[in-house]
Structure 1
Amino acid sequence: MHANGAPAGGARGVFIMDSMGPGGAPQGLEAFRRGWETQIGDDVFQLPAFSPDTIGDFRVKGNVTKVDGAAIADLHAASATRTADVPGGDQDLVAMYVVRRGAWTLGNPPGYGDQTVSAGQFLVRHLGRLTAFETTADLTAKFLVLPSDELKPLLGKRAVTGSADSAEMRLLTAMTDMIHTTIGELGPAGVSAAQRTLIELTKAVAKGRFDDVEPRLAPALAQAAKDLADRRLADPGLSPAMLARELNVSVRTLHRAFAAVDEQVSTYIRHRRLHEARLALMASAGRSSITELAAHWQFADSSHFTRAFKKQFGQTPTEFARSTAASPAPPDRHPPAHPPSRP
């Protein structure tokens, strides 16, 4: 985490944290704590006291975004960390831990035992007090804190755990990534709506299902579907039905989510496949077979592929290949159809 807080790319609301200074020397926990309290404040999440034996080698970095009364932190810890045995301090919030690498062990009230969130898992629970925790070295995790008013009655005293790759968690992760990239441009109403959406998605995670009629979830659902489609573009089974099945929603809900962002599922898939085919033509300087490209990107035949390509780019694949070979063009800079995934 960053000893000296700085807005990420000048974007309001995003705090870059990196406890390592120039040359790789640790800058110290207290410098980080001052940065957190200045940039994020302790009204959302109060930092606990850390164990003295982990303070000397405190190597953690990441981004934190404050979203009204909530916060999202993407963390990467090179060193192990551990809080004091009894951190102390009252609070009333819901916390979610999503671990991609390493492990995060959370203390529980006496008699309940500790809980470890391993790689590929999440845990969400209500926190009434600061509790002890420790993390392994080489940790990659997402940490969310949310207001408890609506979530506490749903969670009660239980901790909800599960796969970080469940449909509901993929929706939530897509939304947090979108918030990181757009928070600097959002007005007060947009920030408030972003917080509301985080709460609704966390409800969906806790319930183990997606709220089929919640319109505020549409952008996150559409983004999660795009992320999945981009990984399956060459899959002959890719379709709105397959995406809906993988995301645990109805096809109707998926179409409604895309309509809310002025897109269509099938159109998105076709355009992404055409752009990949165009990149392949450029890379091969026209040596790629039109028939092979059509088959690879799941067009019915070369004629169908040629018509779709010309409609999209104003040239047939053959014409485009000839023009590329005659006058080499710079690499295609077509922007990704979605924000790049968090490493």
Structure 2
Amino acid sequence: MRYSEFGTSKLPAQQQLEAWQAWYGRVFDTSTLHAGDDGFTAHARAWNLDGFALNHVTAPGLSVLRTKTLLRREPVDHWAITLGRRSVTWLDTGSTTLTAPAGVPFVVSLGQTMKNEREADDRIQLYLSRDSFHGIAPLLDACCARPLQPAGGALLADYMRVLLRNLPTLDETDALRLTDATRAMIAACLAPSAQRLGEARPLINVTLMEKVRRAIRRHLRSSALGPELICREAATSRSQLYRLLEGEGGVGHYIQKQRLSEAFSMLCDLPATTTIAAIAEMLCFADSSSFARAFRREFGVSPSDVRDAARAGLPPIPAGAGAHEAERGSFVACLRGAPSLAGAALDHRA
């Protein structure tokens, strides 16, 4: 896995746009939508893996062209899947037009001319080589410059966010498993079938788990946190939520574990003037005694032990405690524990 990064913020304002244009110049012609603005502060990160790349780009409003001249100069014909996170994208391929709202991914082929425009945005992009993704070529070509089905598009957007969040921490061995996993996930999102959904099920569950985790973390201090709120925010059914968290001891147990984890961080970070009873109340425990019992069961030490160790600059828990729990259900655990993803022979027939 190769990583590259480029930004314009440290350049003089009058050189920023030109530097950005040079960075993309062999593949795209770029121009700003607001020529009168001072400077062009933009940033790009790219992870190049086996057969595909993931880019994360933050930039002001842009017009981007892929012209016939560029096709001859740099005849790369990868597919590109783009997820704009803040801005609507307008796309014109000459034969079709598409307006993609923020949060909705869309597919294009770099083997054709196109123009797209969008205002300032934070974008995630997958570039897929035809050699590595030829098995699902009909699916990708059929979706080029067309609106994706809502359910599949939402799942693909979530998966792209999961990739961006996890790629920086993957080692080389785990990264090697990503091409097949990503191929399976894209196929399941673009053209769902029982077979494709089955092949991608471990990644679908991890992607949903990320949404559930985020929903729970947002509401840890709310007494309203429960299955109904989680299902609403994670856009899932109650039965699906129960199945997902069955291995974690159930919804209530998982919420309590997240609250205890938050309490642990608070005991390490908050000033000693915040009492343990106040932390228990903030995190919706019935009283400080029930909080202390649950805390000791989870971590093997009392809340006061953690606070005292933090004051002394000592590690409050023996190294490695809870490591298995932290990894279970994670993206990395999915890659390592799902052999069906490491060579999935996808059925790409219509």
Bin for the TM-score computed over the shorter chain: 0.5 to 0.7
CA distance in 2, matches of 1:57, 1:164: 38
- Residue equivalent to 1:157: 142
- Residue equivalent to 1:225: 212
CA distance in 1, matches of 2:197, 2:282: 36
- Residue equivalent to 2:197: 211
The answer as to 2:97 corresponding to 1:117 is no
Alpha-carbon deviations, 1:245-304, whole Å to 9, x = none?
725372465248x78xxx9876654333123224445625254362x5434323354432
How far off is 1:192 after superposition? 3.7
Alpha-carbon deviations, 1:12-38, whole Å to 9, x = none?
51110224554453252564248xxxx
Alpha-carbon deviations, 1:65-117, whole Å to 9, x = none?
1121111111011352332665552554432111122333222233x3x3233
- Residue equivalent to 1:294: 280
CA distance in 1, matches of 2:113, 2:212: 36
Contact (CA 8 Å) 2:59, 2:121: kept in 1 or not?
yes
TM-score, length of structure 1 as denominator length: 0.67
TM-score, length of structure 2 as denominator length: 0.66
Q: 1:13 is aligned with what amino acid? A: R
Q: 2:256 is aligned with what amino acid? A: R
The answer as to 2:75 corresponding to 1:95 is no
Q: 2:263 is aligned with what amino acid? A: A
- Residue equivalent to 2:19: 28
How far off is 1:208 after superposition? 6.9
Q: 2:157 is aligned with what amino acid? A: M
Gaps of 5+ in 1: 1-11, 35-45
How far off is 1:315 after superposition? 4.4
Provide closer, same or farther for how the CA distance between residues 333 and 151 of structure 1 changes in structure 2, counting only shifts above 3 A.
farther
Q: 1:310 is aligned with what amino acid? A: R
- Residue equivalent to 1:191: 175
- Residue equivalent to 2:270: 283
Contact (CA 8 Å) 1:99, 1:164: kept in 2 or not?
no
Q: 2:289 is aligned with what amino acid? A: S
CA distance in 2, matches of 1:301, 1:100: 41
CA distance in 1, matches of 2:161, 2:253: 24
Provide closer, same or farther for how the CA distance between residues 48 and 333 of structure 1 changes in structure 2, counting only shifts above 3 A.
farther
Q: Secondary structure at the match of 2:216?
A: helix
Provide closer, same or farther for how the CA distance between residues 84 and 204 of structure 1 changes in structure 2, counting only shifts above 3 A.
closer
CA distance in 1, matches of 2:110, 2:311: 63
Contact (CA 8 Å) 2:152, 2:188: kept in 1 or not?
no
- Residue equivalent to 1:248: 236
Aligned counterparts, 1:131-150, within 5 A:
131-147=113-129, 148-150=133-135
- Residue equivalent to 1:18: 7
The answer as to 2:184 corresponding to 1:166 is no
The answer as to 2:93 corresponding to 1:105 is no
Provide closer, same or farther for how the CA distance between residues 244 and 197 of structure 1 changes in structure 2, counting only shifts above 3 A.
farther
User: Root-mean-square deviation (CA), in Å?
Assistant: 4.4
Contact (CA 8 Å) 2:59, 2:120: kept in 1 or not?
yes
How far off is 1:231 after superposition? 2.1
CA distance in 2, matches of 1:139, 1:333: 42
How far off is 1:174 after superposition? 1.0
Higher relative contact order (CA 8 A, sep 6+): 2
The answer as to 2:27 corresponding to 1:47 is yes
How many residues are treated as equivalent by the alignment? Answer: 301
Gaps of 5+ in 2: 331-350
CA distance in 2, matches of 1:177, 1:284: 30
Identity %: 18
Q: 2:98 is aligned with what amino acid? A: Q
Larger helix percent: 2
